[in-house]
Structure 1
């Protein structure tokens, strides 16, 4: 387990989501293994999940890479039940005020953003906020049902500071914050739950900022 998730600053400006893999390769940004196998006794299947991130001040660039035995992206539109699909998630508290954002995106780039202090009563971001997040998926952008057979797929997000819409962030520069990275698939043939920083609870719950780890932006 890393002591912190360190996010390097790169010079590329106004990055398109489809360019993220190339830009990170050129900047030698390495993938980090997300391999805390949460609740393994009840959910023994463990896909391979990796993430790498960078930022350019105005955008957080995320590249998820997943190898799993079945890929699913059924949610028909943003703000749907994407956590039931093959889903990659970043939970982040950009300001130490007791709130956090959950940014959840399935294998087709369909996403939701929630905000609040806890699991209950979360506020969902409006479509104009979601539209600010550029997305690219190696699986395409159209919904699809279960695709069986092990495969590796990638998902890239270009997230502007404006996506953290309840805080007036000017830049990602120098932020030292709290967060966690997750992979789930609640309705897949073999549901699973992975996290970057471990969660010590008896049953699945990602909405636990008390288990967030350090996220350090250069």
Structure 2
């Protein structure tokens, strides 16, 4: 049977990112491990990453939890190279039309959203779209260079339907779509690549929707 990532619907509305951990705790939402250690031979370091998500129709609420030996978040502004930092990513195809969105956010809440059918020629979301995503990080929102020594940090995103700006989604409710969740850090002392659904390729490449798995939003 195909593995599915199920996203429960909650009643809370107009949720701020700083409230997400409490709301999910109160709703009894557990974390799911993001534990496919991609390209382990070339990149043997393996941090710990978990994710949990809920939605309220109008918002997708995401909570990432990471334990790693070095944390980095130097990207100075949105739409920068956040994948080079300690970065959590959700790739999602909300409509089965051959396109997908890559939503990538570093440990300081600096993010980018890309759109298109493949890795090449992706369109970056304008700042007014990025500003619609409320963000909270346990490490604060100010960029920082390497913090050494193992620690656990959390990142929360309150993502409105408008963030998927090419598709004018009315609601997340009932969507049965494809996607994947990733953790990377291309310029950390020990680069690494983790995924929710496995990727069977010889070299690192998250932009492969043919390896996306099922993501089901409760009605």
Instruction: Give the TM-score normalised by the residue count of structure 2.
Output: 0.99
Give the 3-state SS of the residue equivalent to 1:165 in structure 2. Answer: coil
Could you give the per-residue CA deviations for residues 37-60 of structure 1, whole angstroms, max 9, x where no partner exists? 000000000000000000000000
In the aligned structure 1, how far is the partner of 2:52 from the partner of 2:146? Answer: 26
Could you give the per-residue CA deviations for residues 66-90 of structure 1, whole angstroms, max 9, x where no partner exists? 0000000000000000000000000
Q: Map 1:84-95 onto structure 2 (within 5 A).
A: 84-95=84-95
1:142 aligns with 2:142: yes
1:65 aligns with 2:65: yes
Q: Give the superposition deviation at 1:168.
A: 1.2
Question: Runs of 4+ in structure 1 displaced over 2 angstroms?
Answer: none
In the aligned structure 2, how far is the partner of 1:183 from the partner of 1:106? Answer: 10
Could you give the per-residue CA deviations for residues 143-188 of structure 1, whole angstroms, max 9, x where no partner exists? 0000000000000000000000000100000000000000000000
Other-structure match for 1:162:
162
Instruction: Give the TM-score normalised by the residue count of structure 1.
Output: 0.99
In the aligned structure 2, how far is the partner of 1:89 from the partner of 1:4? Answer: 18
Give the 3-state SS of the residue equivalent to 1:181 in structure 2. Answer: strand
- Give the gaps of 5 or more residues in structure 1: none
In the aligned structure 2, how far is the partner of 1:57 from the partner of 1:193? Answer: 31
Q: Map 1:123-134 onto structure 2 (within 5 A).
A: 123-134=123-134
1:48 aligns with 2:48: yes
- Give the gaps of 5 or more residues in structure 2: none
Other-structure match for 1:110:
110
In the aligned structure 2, how far is the partner of 1:130 from the partner of 1:89? Answer: 14
In the aligned structure 2, how far is the partner of 1:22 from the partner of 1:28? Answer: 10
In the aligned structure 1, how far is the partner of 2:109 from the partner of 2:145? Answer: 14
Other-structure match for 1:120:
120
Other-structure match for 1:153:
153
